[in-house]
């Protein structure tokens, strides 16, 4: 877990968050040990800003990684408190990550709060609803 935290923390410097000054980093760990990071990338047209979690997940899928390859995800920011994934990220996480995958929220001291992916979005809309 420490290694995953260090990966996420190290990637924070790549956050492009000049409008909010709120840096977010996500480190996605695969079952084979591979780690892919993502950071938030903002835009002057604010609504086009991209979240760290979704950047990590879409980068992974773009490399051929699939849902069942993913073990867990860890988020970090510069804050002393725990930041949890936004609603849009939760919807994408339930689509692209295993329901039982742990989601670790960490603060700037490296403290960790863990929940399961499925518990972040109860009654989620999924492919089963189609
Ligand atoms: N942000 C994320 O990267 N992930 C989240 O789950 C919450 C919000 C980013 C978006 C924006 O760049 C900044 O945090 C402030 O909302």
Atom of ligand 1 nearest to the CA of 51: 3
Alpha-carbon span 53 to 74, nearest angstrom = 9
CB neighbours of residue 46 within 10 Å = 9
**Domains with residue ranges and CATH for the chain:** 2-129 (3.40.140.10)
Residues with CB under 6 A from ligand 1: 17, 20, 22, 24, 40, 42, 49, 51-53, 85-86, 89
What local confidence, expressed as pLDDT, does residue 68 receive?
98
What pLDDT is recorded for position 97?
98
Contact 55, 42 (CB under 8 A): no
Residue 106, pLDDT score: 98
Which contiguous run of DSSP H or E holds residue 3?
Answer: helix 2-11
In this structure, is the dihedral angle defined by the CA atoms of residues 80, 101, 12 and 124, taken in order, positive or negative? negative
Which portions of the chain are predicted below pLDDT 70?
none
Nearest-angstrom CA–CA distance, 28 and 49: 20
Q: Which two tokens stand for residue 108?
A: 């700037």
pLDDT at 38: 98
The answer to whether the CB of 51 falls within 8 A of the CB of 58 is no
Helix (H, G, I), strand (E, B) or coil at 62: helix
CA of 89 to the centre of ligand 1 (A): 9
pTM comes to 0.97
Residues marked active site are found at 53
């Amino acid at each position: 877990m420490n290694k995953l935290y260090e990966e996420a923390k190290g990637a924070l410097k790549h956050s492009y968050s000049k409008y909010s000054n709120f840096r977010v980093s996500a480190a996605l760990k695969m079952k084979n040990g591979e780690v892919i990071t993502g950071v938030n990338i903002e835009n002057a047209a604010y609504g086009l800003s991209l979240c760290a979690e979704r950047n990590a997940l879409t980068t992974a899928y773009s490399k051929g990684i699939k849902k069942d390859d993913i073990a867990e995800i860890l988020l970090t920011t510069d804050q002393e408190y725990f930041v949890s994934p936004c609603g849009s990220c939760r919807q994408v996480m339930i689509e692209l990550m295993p329901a039982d995958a742990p989601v670790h929220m960490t603060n700037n001291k490296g403290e960790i709060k863990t929940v399961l992916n499925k518990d972040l979005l109860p009654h989620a809309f999924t492919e089963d609803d189609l």
